Amino acid sequence: MQSESFTGQASLVTPSRKRFFIMVLLFITVVINYLDRSNLSIAAPALTSELGIDPVHVGLIFSAFGWTYAAMQIPGGWLVDRVPPRILYSVALLLWSIATVMLGFAASFIALFVLRMAVGALEAPAYPINSRVVTTWFPERERATAIGFYTSGQFVGLAFLTPVLAWLQHAFGWHMVFVATGGVGILWALIWYAVYREPRDFKGANAAEIELIRKGGGLVDIQAQAAKAPFSWVDLGIVLSKQKLWGIYLGQFCLNSTLWFFLTWFPTYLVKYRGMDFIKSGLLASLPFLAAFVGVLCSGLFSDWLIRRGTSVGFARKLPIIGGLLISTAIIGANFVDSTAWVIAFLAVAFFGNGLASITWSLVSTLAPSRLLGLTGGVFNFIGNLSAITTPIVIGFLATGDSFAPAITYIAVLALLGALSYILLVGKVERIEI
């Protein structure tokens, strides 16, 4: 009776909008997250010259993040199911930011390698936490917009703030690139701990907003229901045995393969294989990232618009993902043109498609068993981020001689396979009950 009275009172009050403030908090966190991934690429030329590190060892330093980031996804996801986001995100942010600051004082290959491994391991819970927070704070019809908005933060960091880091290095030296980005992360860890709360505990979030989230499929009481049992191989078996989940796991691997091409080989492709000078390629290289940024923003808004128009959750989520992956196959067009403008155009279209498909975490939120959100997200991110290891290595073998065409074809084929994974394996979109 009391619950009915509470619901009735909530329906008479205009819901507050504190969930959109949470969306901004996640966006800023993702910007910091990706700045701490990309800062090494900015500082590398100067620091390797100063420390006398050869190209082979530079490659090993670049790979260090990916190995530990992938390896820690499942343990990180397990933690997400047991430690509240306010505490876990604050601790992870603080520790990876401290490791980032220490990179500014590294004086050897070993120090750089170990610290980058530490950053990778400590960043591992970040995206499972993001998924957990969005599932808690947003009804289904708003969830893709929230995910698209915070995911766009990764491209903001890459497209808009990379020049700021380059200026910082030019003005103050490579050491300050790490000190500044790490320092911002330390400050943000303190802010997150001070500000973030679950919906029922968040100051200003009224009963009407909480009821709106709950009725819309948001798991506002997830922490109270969270499992406290130790790690279970049975639980891992569950999230590894469902065809629907394998559809999104494989799709994420294919989607991330395009992303990691742009994060690793893209500048080399423009300079070495397309003969562009460094300054010109630097200016042009921002265009695909801007296109991806637009794609990410469009994906969430379009998906949630479809839901408000009455389409099913499955159709509204899968359409931009499958469509984006198919658009990403346009990258193969770069193999058949010589004009710089056309090469960049095909790459920008492909990366726009990658951005459009990037609301894949919305399906983790919708499909995962409610008590295994973190573990499912960890497996999803683990398999997806194996591409951080495989893509640079495979492209290195394919890009032999003067031709990069086989490598471009590889990326296009994976994008097609990703679309097929969502079409053939995921099926009806509904939460898996266990």
pTM score, whole prediction: 0.74
Residues of the chain with CATH 1.20.1250.20: 13-220, 234-429
Which overall architecture, per CATH, does domain 13-220 show?
A: Up-down Bundle (1.20)
Neighbours of 163 (CB within 10 A): 12
| Phi, psi values for residue 84, rounded to 5° | -60, 145
Pairwise CA distance, residues 100 & 63, whole Å: 16
Check if the beta carbon of residue 387 is closer than 8 Å to that of residue 69: no
Check if the beta carbon of residue 313 is closer than 8 Å to that of residue 216: no
Q: What is the DSSP string of 133-162?
A: HHHHH--HHHHHHHHHHHHHHHHHIIIIIH
Q: Could you tell me which residues come within 8 angstroms of residue 32 by beta carbon, excluding any fewer than 6 positions away?
A: 93, 97, 157, 181, 184, 185, 188
Q: Does CATH number 1.20.1250.20 belong to domain 234-429?
A: yes
Residue pLDDT tens, the chain, 434 long: 444 444 455 456 788 878 889 889 999 999 999 888 878 877 777 777 788 877 667 667 777 888 898 888 878 877 887 888 999 999 999 999 999 999 999 888 899 899 999 999 999 889 889 988 888 888 877 887 788 788 888 887 777 777 777 788 778 888 898 999 999 999 999 999 999 988 888 788 788 878 888 887 777 676 644 545 566 778 788 888 888 899 999 999 999 999 888 877 777 788 778 877 645 555 676 788 889 988 988 887 888 888 888 888 888 888 999 999 999 999 999 999 988 889 999 999 999 999 999 888 778 878 888 777 777 877 888 899 888 888 877 887 787 667 889 999 999 999 999 999 999 998 887 787 77
Pairwise CA distance, residues 10 & 70, whole Å: 43
